[in-house]
């Protein structure tokens, strides 16, 4: 459990895993079969996953921008990937 008293959930390591989990949460919420507490917990997890996906997409956009800039001396060099866990909110 974290400081807020909520259960910590593993953070998916990549965009595809995060998106897949987010889509599954949306399906669960759309059924309307969950209790209010379950719905809120899944919604909270979904917001967290959505933010992670947005961060990963922004990071990818920046990488593409740097690599495709002909005036950038680093445009021919690979940029090392960053660990998404480094950007996780606590």
Q: How confident is the model at residue 84 (pLDDT cuts 50, 70, 90)?
A: low
Domains along the chain with CATH numbers: 12-68 (1.10.287.1040)
CA distance 77 to 63: 11
Is 80's pLDDT higher than 80?
no
Taking a C-beta distance cutoff of 8 angstroms, is the pair 7, 1 a contact?
yes
pLDDT digits (tens, 9 = 90+) for 57-67: 999 999 999 88
pLDDT digits (tens, 9 = 90+) for 6-53: 445 666 779 999 999 999 999 999 999 999 999 999 999 999 999 999
| Interior angle at CA 62, CA 70 and CA 55, nearest 5 | 175
């Amino acid at each position: 459990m974290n400081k807020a008293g909520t259960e910590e959930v593993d953070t998916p390591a990549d965009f595809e895993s995060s998106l897949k989990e987010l889509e599954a949460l949306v399906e669960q919420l759309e059924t309307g079969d969950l209790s209010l507490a379950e719905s809120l917990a899944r919604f909270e997890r979904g917001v967290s996953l959505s933010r992670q996906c947005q961060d990963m997409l922004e990071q990818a956009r920046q990488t593409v921008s740097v690599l495709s800039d002909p005036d950038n001396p680093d445009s021919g060099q690979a940029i090392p990937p960053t660990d998404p866990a480094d950007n996780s909110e606590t």
